[in-house]
Structure 1
Amino acid sequence: MERPMTWLDDLPAIDLSTLNDAAARQSRVDRKYLLTLDELTELGAHLGDCSVLEIAGQRSGGYSSLYLDTPDLQAYHLAGLERRRRFKVRIRTYASTGEQYLEVKTRDGRGMTHKVRQLHDGSVPLSASAQGFVDTRLSSQGIVLTGPLEPVLTTSYERTTLYLPGDGARATLDLGVRFATAGDEVALDNIAVVETKGGTRPTSFDRLLSALGHRETRMSKYGVGMAALHPELHPEKWAATMRRTLHLV
C-alpha cells in the first residue's frame, strides 16, 4: 500500500539482527496511539534520532495474525475487564517471508507485557506440542484456560518499525488495519495504529506524541476487532475508543 509519509525514506536503515540485539523488547510496556494519516505525515517533521527497519530493501511489510480464544472468549474478557493477568494467543504470518509463529502474550501484575513465540506450521487446532507450549507459558503466569482454543479473528496490516536508540526501544506504525471473521470485515480507514515498546518510563517518541497533542488510547487490535464484528459483545474498555475515534459503534 502507498505510505502517507515520505519522511521514512530519509531515515537511516537498521537490519533485523541489529534491531533485535539493541531492542528485542519481548518484555516491555506497550503504549498505543491512534493518528490520522495526515497526523502521521506531520509527525515526520518533528521526529528525532531514529532508524527504520529495512529487510531486503523494504521498509514496511505485511503482517497477519490469527487470534485464538476459548468458546467463552476468556482472553477477550480478561483484557476488556483489565484483569491484572491476561493473555493473547495468535498465529502470526509475515508476508515477506511466509514465516509463521505461534505467539503467546501475557500481562503481569506490574503492567509489563511479555511475549514468547515459536515457529509454527499454521495448523489449527493446535498440535499437542503447540498446545503444550501455550499451556506452559500461561501456567507460569497463573492462567488456566477455560476451554479449547479456536480461531476467532484475523487481523492484517502493513507495519513499519522504528528503532529509538536513545531509549533502547522501538515504535511501530501500522497502516491499513483490517479485521475479519466468518466472512465479515471491518477496516480502519485513514487511521494509523502507533505503538511504542519500551520500559516503564515513556520513550522520547511518547514524549513527542504528547507534545503534538496525542494521548495514549485504549486500543487492542484483537479487542476492537472482536467488538466491531460481534455487536452482541460488550465492547468493554474499548467502547470510548471505538465510539469517539474509530466511529465503529
Structure 2
Amino acid sequence: MNMSTRNDFQEILKRFGGISLEEVNRASLMRRKDKKYIFSFEDLSDLLGMVSKDYRVLEIDGSRSQHYHTRYFDTDGREMYHKHHRGLANRHKVRIRRYGSGNLHFLEVKKKNAKGVTTKKRVKTSGMDRAVLMKEEEFLISCSPYEGSGIDLTMENDFHRITLVNHTQTERVTLDYGLQFSSKENGEQLDLPGIAIAEIKFENRLTGSSLHATMRKFRIKPRRFSKYAIGMALLHPGLKQNRFKSRVRQVHQINESYQLTTK
C-alpha cells in the first residue's frame, strides 16, 4: 500500500464530523438496496475530499477506519458461489465476521431477492471457528436453506473499512481497501493493494446521494461486486466464472496499474 496515499486520506478523514457505532447501527439498513463501485485506491483521497461536508465518519477508539476479518462458508459443491454466478434470485451467503480488532463477532446470513433487495440477519457469536455453525444451527436454518453440518470454510478475507453516514441517516456508505483473500481449499493467497470498493446502502432511491454524484464526476460506474464470488473466482481460476470475467479482468487491471505507479 502506498503510505503517502494512506496518510493523505487519513488527514482528509479529520475533516469529517464523527459518528458513534450506536448511531451507525441505527442507520444499518439491514433490508436495503445497494450500489457498488470498483476503483483505484489512488482516487480514495480525492473522493473523500469532495464529500467531507455531506457525511459523518464512524470513529471507534479514535480510529476512523477499522479492520475486518471474514470467513465464508459454502457447500462441498460450492452451491452459494454457483447460484451467484448464475444470477439466481433468493441466493444466500453465510459468513462469520470479526468487526474491528476486538472480540465482536457475528454469524451473518445475507439474502438477495428477485427485486435486488438485500436482507441481512445476524447473531452475535463468541468466535469464528466452524463450531459456531453448529451452536447457532437453529438461527442458520431459520434464515437460509443450509445446515451447519452441510457447509464448511471456503475462503477468508481481510480489509480495512471507512464507514460514512449522511446527515439524515438514510444512507450509509462503506469504503473498503487493503483487500486480502486466502483459499481454504488450495492455500492460495492474494493481496489487492490497488483496489478500493465503495458501497452505497439505501432504502429506496439514490436521489440526493453526494457520493453517487461524485462517482459520476469521476466517471466511475456502478458495478456488481461480491467479495465472496470474485474472491473465489480470483483464487480458483478453474471455477466456472464466465459471468465474472469482466469483473476479474477489471480487478487485475486496476491493481496492476496501481502497482506500476507506486513502484
Determine helix, strand or coil for the equivalent of 1:189: strand
1:232 and 2:238 matched: yes
Tell me the residue number matched to 2:161. 159
Determine helix, strand or coil for the equivalent of 2:215: helix
Determine helix, strand or coil for the equivalent of 1:84: coil
Q: How many Å separate the matches in 1 of 2:247 and 2:167?
A: 31
State which of 75, 87, 102 in structure 2 corresponds to 1:97: 102
* 1:37/1:180 CA distance change after superposition, 3 Å: same
Partner amino acid for 1:76?
Answer: Y
TM-score, normalised to structure 1, is: 0.90
Tell me the residue number matched to 2:40. 36
Q: What's the offset of the Cα at 1:99?
A: 1.6
Tell me the residue number matched to 1:196. 200
* 1:71/1:54 CA distance change after superposition, 3 Å: same
Q: What's the offset of the Cα at 1:10?
A: 0.9
Tell me the residue number matched to 1:70. 75
Identical amino acids, percent of aligned pairs: 30
Partner amino acid for 2:204?
Answer: T
* 1:49/1:127 CA distance change after superposition, 3 Å: closer
The unaligned stretches of length 5 or more in structure 1 are none
Q: How many Å separate the matches in 1 of 2:251 and 2:234?
A: 13
State which of 241, 244, 248 in structure 1 corresponds to 2:250: 244
State which of 59, 63, 79 in structure 2 corresponds to 1:54: 59
Tell me the residue number matched to 1:87. 92
Determine helix, strand or coil for the equivalent of 1:190: strand
1:25 and 2:29 matched: yes
8 A Cα contact 1:66 1:91, kept in partner: yes
Q: How many Å separate the matches in 1 of 2:25 and 2:132?
A: 28
Compute the RMSD of aligned alpha carbons: 2.1
Partner amino acid for 2:81?
Answer: Y
Partner amino acid for 1:10?
Answer: R
Tell me the residue number matched to 1:205. 211
Q: How many Å separate the matches in 1 of 2:239 and 2:50?
A: 40
* 1:49/1:36 CA distance change after superposition, 3 Å: same
Aligned length: 243
Q: How many Å separate the matches in 1 of 2:179 and 2:79?
A: 24
Determine helix, strand or coil for the equivalent of 2:180: strand
Tell me the residue number matched to 2:260. none
More helix by share: 2
Q: How many Å separate the matches in 1 of 2:41 and 2:128?
A: 32
8 A Cα contact 1:218 1:238, kept in partner: no
Q: What's the offset of the Cα at 1:214?
A: 0.8
* 1:84/1:191 CA distance change after superposition, 3 Å: same
Tell me the residue number matched to 2:183. 181
TM-score, normalised to structure 2, is: 0.86
Partner amino acid for 2:98?
Answer: T
Partner amino acid for 1:169?
Answer: E
8 A Cα contact 1:29 1:199, kept in partner: yes
Determine helix, strand or coil for the equivalent of 1:246: helix
